[in-house]
Chain A
Amino acid sequence: MRIDEEQVRYVAALANLELTADEVRRMARELDQILSYMDKLNELDTEGVEPMAQVLYDADPEATLREDREGPTLSNEVALANAPLKGAGHFKVPKVIER
């Protein structure tokens, strides 16, 4: 058993994901099955093998650098256009600091 319901609730909290009791039950079963399958990776000896985080090609080491110059940008109004709640040029969220 790789993962139980308690661990599912812990990971869901890390992921900021509210799950119903039913989802927790199902998730424990499914994740356990999938993680067991992922353990297949341990059959391979990867001692000394570099991890591949990105597909890389040869390029000038400074190729992606550019002059630090101001370019066009989204206006405050446009950037906030999709906000569920906004005010005074900001995204508004529920109160964070308690008195």
Chain B
Amino acid sequence: MDVAALTIDRIREDLAARRYSAAELATAALEFAQAENPKTNAYLHFCPERAMAAARRVDERLARGEDPGPLGGVPVAVKDVILTKDVRTTCASRLLEKYVPPYDATAVARLEEAGAVILGKTNCDEFAMGSSNENSAFGPVRNPVDPERVPGGSSGGSAAAVAQGTAVAALGSDTGGSIRQPASFCGVVGVTPTYGRVSRYGLTAFASSLDHVGPLARNVRDSARLLQVIAGRDPMDSTSAFAPVPDYLAGLDEDIRGLKIGLPKEYFQDLATETGDLVAAAVETLKGLGCEIREVSLPTTEYAVPCYYVICTAEASSNLARYDGVRYTIRAEDAESLIDMYRKTRGRGFGAECKRRIMLGTYVLSAGYYDAYYLKAQRVRTLISRDFQAAFEQVDALVAPVSPFPAFKLGEKIDDPLEMYLSDIYTITGDLAGIPCMSVPCGRTADGLPVGLQILTNHFQEPLMFRIAAAYERAAA
């Protein structure tokens, strides 16, 4: 079997027809992923015992004539900021190199209940902080499309694994674009659901009011299948939404004639590039499918980057305070006092970007600056959110680029943090507003680098977002 070419529908068919067993598929997928991994460093570690146990459970269900579950036998990868019971979860940080969680994230538990086979944990920027995957303590991920280039970040390992074919789908996390941007850089589909749609229980907290768990997959349908399984209220996350989970597959084959699609003009201003041309061609395709295209304005867009980096660093500085050498495996042994132990453990354990964000966050929350930075940014967040609500009164959905440019070279931006932050300009707005958004591949540059089309809808309108994405995907194929 060609593991790299499998889709979820294909696996369902093959298992039902007894072409192979889930255990055979898991064995082949693990072998393939382990053999291919040195090319990209997409996986930090594998969990073969857990994978084989999950696959055997699927085979037992099949043997009893039962449904193997909506993801029965599907080999998946999980970003290493998402907890897996008894399987190391490092957050790509030296501080958690040996950390073995005592429980599963809700999204992980739901994947396995649905029959998914978790092969291993994927590389990412340390604590999900970064846009290139170069902030991993365990080495960068290389883009499978071009190994000289970054896969994007922070879910770079998950995107690279799906693009490389070493996982059929993957879980990522998105706080300011960390699913959509790597999906676009690697040429796969990446979905950031509505805030609260997927439980954050067991997702290592970075910026709690912005953190999302979401799927990456090779096509729109597979990404919808994953979201179907992981979405829904969870008593363990009080911010998870009560809204019932609709059928995400039901509308995928419907046409999109007559839909009003908005182009936020602020997202196209500086886009006289190949990325801009490819996104413009995708917009033409949507027009050809019968959509009415309208220009709309999101006037506060230019304030999104500073707004986001105040809020996310403030929340991060609080969330990362727990890594102090008391509870999580690694401690500076030469400390003279408790405070000295905290300081040495953290100073040696965190990488440069985490330190920068802890410092920024501590600064903007400190006495005398709280109102000027943190409270101000929260007020601006309200304005950004209102922009979207006003736009959705005029149109059904928005489309935009995901990133101003395709995958850049390793080392190209790592020495300029502000330049790196500015690369998130089109993705952080969706996180600030908490609306669902996704990246779907929309072609390649002359150098063969993938570009993503971003589709954004109003809260809980994932069915519409998937429907537009699926129609575009069919038309572009």
On A, residues with C-beta under 8 Å from B are 3, 7-8, 11-12, 14-20, 23, 27, 30-31, 33-35, 37-44, 46, 49-55, 57, 59, 63-64, 66, 74, 78-79, 81-85, 91, 93-96
Contact = CB atoms under 8 A, between A and B. Distances in A.
Given A11-B359, A11-B366, A44 B303 contact: yes
A83 B328 CA distance: 6
A53 B168 CA distance: 36
A51 B382 contact: yes
- 7 closest A-B pairs by CB: A18-B347, A55-B434, A51-B378, A46-B379, A84-B331, A18-B343, A55-B195
Given A30-B417, A52-B379, 19 more contacts: A15-B321, A16-B342, A16-B343, A17-B359, A18-B347, A18-B348, A20-B347, A27-B355, A31-B363, A40-B303, A41-B306, A41-B373, A44-B300, A52-B378, A54-B209, A55-B433, A74-B102, A81-B102, A93-B326
B245 interface: no
B459 interface: yes
Contact of A57 (B196, B209, B377): B196
Contacts of A57: 196, 241-243, 459
Contacts of B238: 64
Grouping DSSP codes into helix (H, G, I), strand (E, B) and loop, the A interface class, with mixed when no group exceeds half, is loop
Contacts of A14: 362, 366
Interface string B342-379: 11101110100001101110111010000001011111
Contact of B331 (A16, A18, A81, A85): A85
A38 B359 contact: no
8 contacts: A3-B363, A41-B380, A51-B379, A53-B209, A64-B238, A74-B103, A93-B338, A94-B335
B200 interface: no
A52 B385 contact: yes
B293 interface: no
B239 interface: yes
A83 B100 CA distance: 11
Contacts, number: 161
Interface string B88-121: 0000000000111011000000000000000000
B359 A40 contact: no
B376 A46 contact: yes
A69 B381 CA distance: 38
Contacts of A12: 359
Nearest to B356: A30
Nearest to B233: A63
Contacts of B382: 46, 49-52
Given A17-B346, A41-B307, A94 B337 contact: yes
A39 B307 CA distance: 10
Contact of A31 (B103, B331, B356): B356
B380 A16 contact: no
Nearest to B460: A57
B236 to A, nearest CB: 10
Nearest to B239: A54
A30 B382 CA distance: 28
Contacts of B377: 38, 41
Interface string B247-275: 00000000000000000000000000000
Contacts of B346: 15-18
B321 to A, nearest CB: 8
B309 interface: yes
A9 to B, nearest CB: 11
Nearest to B196: A55
A27 B147 CA distance: 31
B327 A82 contact: yes
A91 B310 contact: no
Contacts of B336: 94
A18 B344 contact: yes
B261 to A, nearest CB: 24
Contact of B347 (A17, A34, A74, A79): A17
